[in-house]
Amino acid sequence: MYSKSLSDRIRRVLGTQTGHDEKKMFGGVCFLLHGNICVGVWQNSLIVRLGPEQGLAALSEPHVKPFDVTGRPMKGWAMIEPDGIDTDDRLNSWIQRAVEFVASLPAK
């Protein structure tokens, strides 16, 4: 089960983005931008797609760990624990980082 309150918070942020959609995936929900997965919710944590370099760099930040729900961490992704997204500013910052990366990808 994933956090409905976190997914609602994400919807409020992404509601201003054109081309966004959502799908249930990974046992949670993912939010797509122009067909590419951007962010999501897994249990009570935020998952963000940051690309290989930024994803690796993010792992040194507080409350961040690899996105690994299968035993194989996904490269270019990070999972932000609830303490790292406890304010709207922190959540927005992570979402914007993911949006910037995903905007660089070709639309699907």
Burial status of residue 50 (CB atoms within 10 A of its CB: 0-12, 13-18, 19 or more): buried
Query: Mean pLDDT over residues 19-25, rounded?
Result: 90
pLDDT of residue 27: 83
Q: Backbone phi, then psi, for 81, in 5-degree steps?
A: -70, 160
Query: Quick one: CA dihedral 104, 24, 58, 94, positive or negative?
Result: positive
pLDDT of residue 70: 86
CA distance 16 to 42: 23
CA distances 65 to 17, 25, 59, 75, Å, are 27, 19, 6, 12
pLDDT of residue 63: 98
Query: Which domains can be identified in the chain, with CATH numbers?
Result: 4-103 (3.90.1150.30)
- For the stretch 48-106, pLDDT in tens is 999 999 999 999 999 999 999 889 999 999 999 999 999 999 999 999 999 999 999 99
Query: Mean pLDDT over residues 5-29, rounded?
Result: 89
pLDDT of residue 57: 97
pLDDT at 47 over 90: yes
